[in-house]
Every structure is written in C-alpha cells, then in structure tokens.
Amino acid sequence: MVWWFLCHVWTYWSLINHLFILSEIVPQSAIEWFETILEQLFFHAMSYYIYQSDSFLLSTRMFMYFQVCIHLWKMNSFFKANRDYREIYLSRKTGREIGFSPFSEQREIRYPGNITLREFGTYMVYPTLTYQDHYPVSEVSVKNGSWVKKVIARFIIVLMGLFVAYELAQHLLVPLVCQFTHLKIDHALESFTAWYVPCLTLYYSLFLIIFDHILNLYGEISGFQDRQQYQDYWNATTFEEYARKWNRPVHEYLHRHWYLEVLGKWGKEVTIFQAQLATFLYSVYFHEIYLAVMFKEVSFYLTSLQIYQLLLFFIMARLKGTMLGNVIQWLGMFFCITNVLYLYNYDLANFTYSKGGGCMNLYK
C-alpha cells in the first residue's frame, strides 16, 4: 500500500508543473523537459525496483507494473492535454493561430480553471488514461440505495473473479509449470496441450475481471459514465482492428498522445506510416518490459512476434473479409498469447534463479 501511495503522489508532479507554467516564473520549455525527466525517472526506476527484487511473487510483479503504467500514462496525459489547452487558450486570447491540437474543435475549454487539486484527484479515480476537461459524469450519493447496491455487487463480483483466477493458476497452471523443468522436446507438444485450455481460460477470465468489473467498479464509485472499455474485438477481421478494439483505454492514450502527436507536432514531413510505426514501437517497448519485469528475464519472444505482426498487417489488409483472413485472425487470438506465456514460463522454470530453490517459490 505504501508503494501504491508513493506512485499516486508522484503523479501530482504534472499538476505542480502546470501551476509553475501558470505562474510564468520558469519558461514553459524548461518545465516540459523537467516533466519528461520526472516521467522517465518514475517509470524506469519503479520498473527496475520490481525487476531486481526477489521478494515479490509473479502476480505481485504483474500488478505493480500495471500500476506503474497506469500512473505514468495518467500523469503524461494530464500534462500534455493541458499543454494543448493552454495553446488554445492563448490563441483565442491573442488571435494567434496554432498548429494541430486534438482539442482545437472544442468550443469551450475550462483552462486554466481546471488546474486544481480537486480536478486532478478526481481524474485519477476515473477509469480512463486520457485526460480532458469534461467527462460524462453522473451525481454520486451514498444515500442512493441503488448506487450502494451496485457498488457492493461489483465489489463482490471482483472478489469472486479474483478467487476463480487464483484457483485456475494455482491448481492447473503452477503444477504444470513445475513439470517444465528439463522438459524434453518430444514432450513439449504434450505439455502444451495440457497448458493451452487453462492458460486461455485464465487470460480471458482476467480480461473479464479487469475490463468488465474492476473498471466499472471505479466508474460506479466516481460516477464516470463512459463505460466502453472494449469493443467487439471477437468480430475483428484483422490484427489492426483487434488491437484497436480489445483495450480501449490504452488505444485511446496511444492514439491521442503518440499517433496524433507524432503527426501534428513532429513536423509536416512525418508520414502516417511513420506515426504508426512510432506508436507501435512504443507499445512494443512497454510490453517487453512488462514481461521482463514479470518473469525476471529478457527473452524477446513477444517482441519477435510483434515485429512479425508488422508483416501480417499488410497481408491481412489484403485478406480482410476472406475466409483465409478470418482463419489466420482466429488462430492468432487462440494461440499467440498461450504460446508466448508457454515460452516465458518454460524459461522461468529452467533458467531463472529462484531464491530458496524449487519451482513453487516462483509462484506461491
């Protein structure tokens, strides 16, 4: 809890930095560089702290890294969004034209009235990674009996879901991983068939718990009304469409603060493909660090598959809507994540030093 509190407190630097910008004591360009340094220091220091520790369990490391990313992206989004709001505010005040901004079509902006402690604290509770100065929000009252029932029901469902996920991992996957030690090649296929179903079940169980219940629990508590955390990714016919639909909060963050920013602020010579590539590489970097932190080693299995996915983007664009394209898409949904986790767990069981010895020390 102390570590979580420290992560939360660190994000308030983005609010403090904007207060400095409003005071005009320090040049805005210097504060922007200072903000970047603070964000990078936070992310890499926290990630390394999780990685090097032998006291954290695998599930704990996974949770801690998620929190690092959530706080980093919220911090980054608040600073960048209000930087853009400031440009619009000053341009309307002086009549000066500005370049690209994702908020340029917004008629009314609250800046600088939104640079407050209450505004930032409320935003940190909302189940979103992208800041804007207005959200669809409903009134929340403890006196409202139906609201209390919804919150309690969501909380109970979350606890039950986490219990089911724990049982799946502890009784079906952990004993299997312990058998990965010195596994012979001819037994690899047999072990994968035993691994596949519980692994995929756990993956989609955690997806349901996080996106359907934990985020909606935060939505109920805060009154946040935009609950579309994912779209119909099961109907995706290309990998690009799947990536866009299955995780809306992260996609919106990457789209606004990387893709659109690269196109609008990195120069007119930047092409759409270059912006897509920059966004893709940023995503790859965070995914690889996530697996390195979680499994305490760098194997590049996921990175290799994601780079291969670049080729698949072009192939699937031609196969979109065809039977072959749908077969490739569904095979990817069913086997990619299970294959990657199988390889990382195999390496963890065979090549990672476990303090105290024994496979169970890695997972218990």
Q: At what angle do helices 117-125 and 215-222 cross, to 10 degrees?
A: 140
Question: Which of 100, 222, 199 is CA-nearest to residue 151?
Answer: 222
Q: Which residues contact 132 (CB under 8 A, 6 or more apart)?
A: 81, 103
The question of whether 287 is a catalytic residue gets the answer: yes
Six token digits for residue 194? 């035993």
Q: Tens digit of pLDDT for each residue in 325-364?
A: 888 888 888 888 888 888 888 888 776 655 544 554 555 5
% helix, strand, coil for the chain, step of 5: 75, 0, 25
Q: Tens digit of pLDDT for each residue in 235-284?
A: 888 888 888 888 899 999 999 988 888 887 776 778 888 888 888 889 88
pLDDT band (50, 70, 90) for residue 226: confident
CB atoms closer than 10 angstroms to residue 159: 12
248 near 255, Cβ under 8 Å? no
Q: Which residues contact 38 (CB under 8 A, 6 or more apart)?
A: 10, 13, 17
Q: Tens digit of pLDDT for each residue in 91-149?
A: 887 777 766 667 766 677 888 888 999 999 999 999 999 998 888 887 776 666 777 88
Q: Which of 187, 213, 257, 287 is catalytic?
A: 287
Domain boundaries, the chain: 1-135
Question: Which of 327, 325, 328 is CA-nearest to residue 317?
Answer: 325
